[in-house]
Amino acid sequence: MELERTFDQWQERLADLGFASVQAWKAQHPGARVIGYFPVYAPAEIIHAAGMLPVGLSGGGDRLDIQHADARFGSFICSIIKTTLEMGLRDHLKVFDGILFSSICDSARNLCFVMKRNFPDLYTDFLHLPHNPSSTASVDFLASEYRRLIQELERIGGRAVTETSLQNAIALYNHNRQLIRSLYALRAQKPHVLRAWESYVLVRAGNLMPVEEHNALLEESLEQLAQRPGKPRDSIRVVVEGAFCEQPPLDLIKLVEDAGCYLVDDDFVIGRSWFTDDVPVDADPVHALAESYVNRAVYSSVRHDFRAPRWEGLAEKVKQSRADAVLFLIAKFCEPAYFDYVLFKKKLEEIGVPHLLLEFEEKQFTFDRVRTEVETFVESLVFD
Ligand code: SF4
């Protein structure tokens, strides 16, 4: 399929609150289960190895009015929490047989238990991801947590997760992450050939389809991109930080690019490229996944690692991508992102990297003020 058509088609599917592509998969696989997972990261390999379809949730976007969820949460909560619950209350999550949450923040933790109470027939689980990777117990702790998850999925799906099925799933997801890394490398090298919103759509599409199909989509797209002409624009190179969980409106990403920025790296949908290197395939696969979470994960505001400060990770990202500046794109009321903003800002000021903070919500339609802010920021750098 032509690249432009692929982008158009997936833009539509990502905005579809009815999960039509997931429903179609379920209809083609009678009896098979679908397990959704709330961002940021979930061990999709385990769900795949159980013969189920892992689906990454990304909130309700800008097409959902909140009618019921407000009554279950206070006002100062990010929009993805409310829209995810609203989707459940309005029957948009009917296709799911279970939903996984993890320890990314207090709001996500609360959402898990609010969902449990409101949907008692839905399998809702909370994964405790370790917060202290320096501890020698972290890997064993997470491996036991993953074994508990495996038992639950075996109970729901009635199919054993074998060592071979998990190793096969790890190999498929390793390949998936390699392809995403290639896409990002191409964008950093030739941002005029692949726009950030296009690569965003391609990567996020993987949240809604089997990994085998996503691998094929990425392979075909990379092949076509290698032939795609592109006219360089007069833009500054920018790294986006802070959009790791709730996702900004697609129109906002497009606007930032149109206002004079090449987005040469970002943390959009970061769970899909969570590991810096392949998860070992030959070893005990449960241990390998746990060990990779502890020792081979990207830096993130929801993963604490005292051995590798996150602000050093951002500084390294800026250096590797030869960025001129950092754009903090942070969801309104996102505590982990705002806590880290202070630390990131300090580091950037220390190394002399300019930065701009923009706040977003899922339901945002007017961008005039944002456009002016970005254009002013770009001009201040160009004419410096
Ligand atoms: S956007 Fe931030 S505050 Fe909201 S659920 Fe995600 S990590 Fe938590």
pLDDT digits (tens, 9 = 90+) for 202-245: 999 999 999 999 999 999 999 999 999 989 999 999 999 999 99
Mutate to test the pocket of ligand 1, among 335, 340, 362 (most ligand atoms within 8 A of CB): 335
pLDDT band with cut points at 50, 70 and 90 for residue 1: low
Q: Please list every protein residue whose CB sits less than 6 Å from any atom of ligand 1.
A: 78, 80-81, 104-105, 107-108, 245-246, 302, 331, 334-337
The pLDDT of residue 184 is above 90: yes
CA–CA separation, 310 and 280 (whole Å)? 24
pTM for the predicted model, two decimal places: 0.96
Give me the pLDDT at residue 63, please: 87
The pLDDT of residue 105 is above 80: yes
Read off the pLDDT of each residue in 167-183 and give the average, rounded to a whole number. 98
pLDDT band with cut points at 50, 70 and 90 for residue 376: very high
Mutate to test the pocket of ligand 1, among 40, 41, 81, 330 (most ligand atoms within 8 A of CB): 81
Give me the pLDDT at residue 367, please: 87
CA–CA separation, 147 and 13 (whole Å)? 33
Backbone angles phi, psi at 17, to 5 degrees: -75, -10
Read off the pLDDT of each residue in 113-123 and give the average, rounded to a whole number. 95
Instruction: Write the DSSP symbol of residue 357.
Output: E
- Tell me the CA end-to-end span of the chain in Å, nearest whole number: 44
Q: Which residue has the least CA distance to atom 5 on ligand 1?
A: 108
The pLDDT of residue 193 is above 90: yes
- Distances from the Cα of 236 to the Cα of 202, 233, 374, angstroms: 23, 9, 11
Q: What tokens does 227 get?
A: 């032939």
The pLDDT of residue 384 is above 80: no
